[in-house]
Copies of this chain bind each other. A is one copy, B any other.
């Protein structure tokens, strides 16, 4: 898992951008307008997103069209896969750990409290 993706998404405006771009590719000014940001900030944030591969740019005449890239999100999804069993199957090794802590002596453990 590329940790920089988390860093990029850890900023509110950038998270908004990513969600906005779900609607489709968009120019800088369009993004700025929709999110009520000024243009320089928008460009800066887009650069961060671009650096971590969350968006790609396409030059079209005067404008730069930013488009969401699926790859990093797919990788995030994959990473989450390791954890998915945590909530799909009941996962609670706490009890195991606790009895392990106590020297796992008492063989006849009590039922679930």
Question: Which chain A residues have a beta carbon within 8 Å of chain B's beta carbons?
Answer: 1, 3, 6-7, 9-12, 15, 19, 22, 24-26, 58, 60, 63, 65, 67-68, 70-71, 73-74, 76-77, 80, 82-84, 86-87, 91, 93-94, 96-98, 101
| Nearest CB in chain B: distance from A22 CB, A | 6
Copies of the polypeptide in the assembly: 2
B residues in contact with A12, CB < 8 Å: 3
Instruction: Give the residue name and chain of the B residue nearest to A94 (CB).
Output: B25
The A interface is mostly helix, strand or loop, or mixed, namely: helix
Contacts A1-B15, A84-B77 known; A70 to B94 CB distance under 8 Å? no
List 20 contacting pairs A-B, 8 Å CB cutoff, sorted by A: A3-B9, A6-B6, A6-B15, A9-B10, A22-B82, A24-B94, A25-B93, A25-B97, A63-B101, A65-B98, A65-B101, A67-B94, A68-B83, A73-B83, A73-B86, A73-B87, A74-B86, A76-B80, A77-B77, A80-B80
